[in-house]
Amino acid sequence: MPQKTNASPSAANDEPAWKQRAVERSTKTARLRAEQRVERFLDAAQAIITEKGTTDFTVQEVVDRSRQSLRSFYQHFDGKHELLLALFEDALRRSADQIRAATEAHGTPLERLKVAVQLLFELCRPDPAAQRPLFTDFAPQLLLRHPNEVRVAHAPLLTLFAELMTDAADAGELRSGVKPRRAAALTMQTVMFTAQSAAAPDDESAHPITADEIWEFCARGFSGN
Amino acid sequence: MPQKTNASPSAANDEPAWKQRAVERSTKTARLRAEQRVERFLDAAQAIITEKGTTDFTVQEVVDRSRQSLRSFYQHFDGKHELLLALFEDALRRSADQIRAATEAHGTPLERLKVAVQLLFELCRPDPAAQRPLFTDFAPQLLLRHPNEVRVAHAPLLTLFAELMTDAADAGELRSGVKPRRAAALTMQTVMFTAQSAAAPDDESAHPITADEIWEFCARGFSGN
DNA sequence: GCCGTGCGAGAATAGCATTCTCGCTCTTTG
DNA sequence: CAAAGAGCGAGAATGCTATTCTCGCACGGC
């Protein structure tokens, strides 16, 4: 920070290009190292999560596993919440990709939507087996303290669903008066949250809600006109 | 516990009635005191919550406010989570009562359902002003660690909605093939969770989902045809 | 009046996130 | 090459909470 309050405020941005390039060159290597370290933390955390099936790990565990240090961790993350957020975003982004790929296989817009809903449902339920992203169980915590970041994290999925929904609308497959983006948001929320509270199919009670049911519900509602 | 391993196992239940009554008399007073203490803890916690608008209070705060002791607290509750659970259950039960009362005022079954949905939505959103039960913000946490207890806590509301839904079904106002109880569960979940992530109406984005929208969505779905 | 149970006061323990201190090791730079 | 400094590992120190434990007191039934 050698240069502060030296030039006029408006000149703050007119650094000569060569200088910017020089700085970048000097910076690049550092950035690469940093990215690599962040990646190691992320991988370690992800491994621990899928291993223990919960997000109740300690920062120390992540540090140990990634063979780095606490100091380093806090130098790269603002805190545990940022790590979670990163994992969360990542998981949602990958899920969005996966779902998008699954819907690619033609069918009417509505059918593609159905595929998306059902896959999202499966992806969001609590570890039916093991390796599932499990990104759903810390979502609530984040929702409380960082609703804004969560919105950002949801963006890829929301975009995908909005696209599918819009396609359906264009094909005239939506009930008139339905706003695609709104419907997409509501559907996503419903699917994700319901999946979470849908316990593993071991309970006897009436609960075990299925992907089909949820699709039926979102698509047609319950009212009979 | 003066009587143990004295009679045959099968005789464990044939205590003379007078003895049971005597024990109960001796017990009654203790129970009353305990109930009163529990009540004080609950009241204190509730007060703190509505005061600070969050459930991030310490047990110590509750203890101080209720003019009791930590020892006493842990003698009456298994831990902080039990306290939260108790408050949660209570809030949900009261909300169920309130909603039931609101729907009492005639109308077709479907209209009553609508009233219920919209009121539930309002009750669940994050403190638009202040005094709202706020029972929604620790629900997620509990969902993770005590899904079973949460189910129990939800029971009153679920029962209410199931009733309303069944009435609608009997009146032929539901789409054929809809199972009332299932639909009730799905609707409740959708309303409660959506309300939670529906930020206060200060954001510019497309989010602010309204009670009407949510009703439309649950009742009619998005699919045309 | 005597005993057990409940309880207040508050110290002790423990788990975890976050910060801080030391020295070491490369990379940069003159 | 040597001095300067940035990044980092190791791990101690802090701070906040929940939870447990220890003492000694008081009250209701005998």
Question: Which residue gives the smallest C-alpha to C1' distance to C19?
Answer: A71
Is A160 inside any structural domain? yes
Predicted confidence at residue B54, as pLDDT, reads 82
**What CA–CA distance (Å, rounded) separates B222 from B225?**
10
Interface test with A, best of B121, B145, B176, B222 (most A CBs within 10 A): B222
Q: What is the pLDDT of residues A116-165, one digit of tens each?
A: 999 999 988 876 665 555 566 666 667 777 888 888 999 999 999 999 99
Are B139 and B122 members of one domain? yes
Diameter of chain B by CA atoms? 74
Task: Find the mean pLDDT for residues B137-157.
Answer: 80
Is A1 inside any structural domain? no
Length of chain A: 225
**Cβ neighbours of residue A212 under 8 Å, at least 6 residues apart?**
A118
Are B129 and B213 members of one domain? yes
Predicted confidence at residue B167, as pLDDT, reads 97
Burial, B65: exposed, middle or buried (Cβ in 10 Å; 0-12, 13-18, 19+)? middle
Please report where in the chains the tokens 């047990």 appear, as a residue: B59
Residue B223's DSSP bridge partners are: A174
CATH label of the domain that carries residue A52: 1.10.10
Does nucleic acid strand C have an atom less than 7 angstroms from the CB of A81? yes
Listed range (A1-10, A103-112, B24-33, B128-137) with the worst mean pLDDT: A1-10
CATH label of the domain that carries residue B178: 1.10.357.10
Q: How far is CA B169 from CA B69, B176, B179, in A?
A: 52, 9, 9
Listed range (A13-22, A83-92, A105-114, A183-192) with the worst mean pLDDT: A13-22
Asked which of B61, B77, B93 is the last residue of a domain, the reply is: B77
Are A149 and A215 members of one domain? yes
Average pLDDT, chain A: 85
Q: What is the pLDDT of residues B114-127, one digit of tens each?
A: 999 999 999 888 76
Q: Which DSSP helix (H) or strand (E) runs through A20? A: helix A17-52
Average pLDDT, chain B: 84
Are B23 and B134 members of one domain? no
Are B97 and B63 members of one domain? no
Predicted confidence at residue A133, as pLDDT, reads 56
Asked which of A77, A102, A123 is the last residue of a domain, the reply is: A77
Q: What is the pLDDT of residues A152-183, one digit of tens each?
A: 999 999 999 999 999 999 999 999 999 999 99
Task: Find the mean pLDDT for residues B74-93.
Answer: 93
Query: What is the pLDDT confidence band of residue A103, given thresholds at 50, 70 and 90?
Result: very high
Are A59 and A92 members of one domain? no
Q: What is the pLDDT of residues B84-95, one digit of tens each?
A: 999 999 999 999
Is B7 inside any structural domain? no
Give one DSSP letter per residue of chain B, joined into a string: ----S-S-GGGGG---HHHHHHHHHHHHHHHHHHHHHHHHHHHHHHHHHHHHTSS---HHHHHHHTT--HHHHHHH-SSHHHHHHHHHHHHHHHHHHHHHHHHHS---HHHHHHHHHHHHHHHHSS-SSS-S--TTTTHHHHHHH-HHHHHHHHHHHHHHHHHHHHHHHHTT-BPTT--HHHHHHHHHHHHHHHHHHS--TT--SS----HHHHHHHHHH-SB--
Predicted confidence at residue B29, as pLDDT, reads 80
Please tell me which residue, B21 or A54, carries the higher pLDDT value: A54
Is B112 inside any structural domain? yes
**What CA–CA distance (Å, rounded) separates B182 from A120?**
20
Are A205 and A156 members of one domain? yes
Total tally of structural domains belonging to chain B: 2
Asked which of A62, A77, A92 is the last residue of a domain, the reply is: A77
Is B213 inside any structural domain? yes
pTM: 0.85
- Given a cut of 70, whether residue A90 has pLDDT beyond it is yes
Range of the domain at A43: 17-77
Q: Which residue of B has its CA nearest to A147?
A: B197
CA–C1' span, A67 to C20, in Å?
20
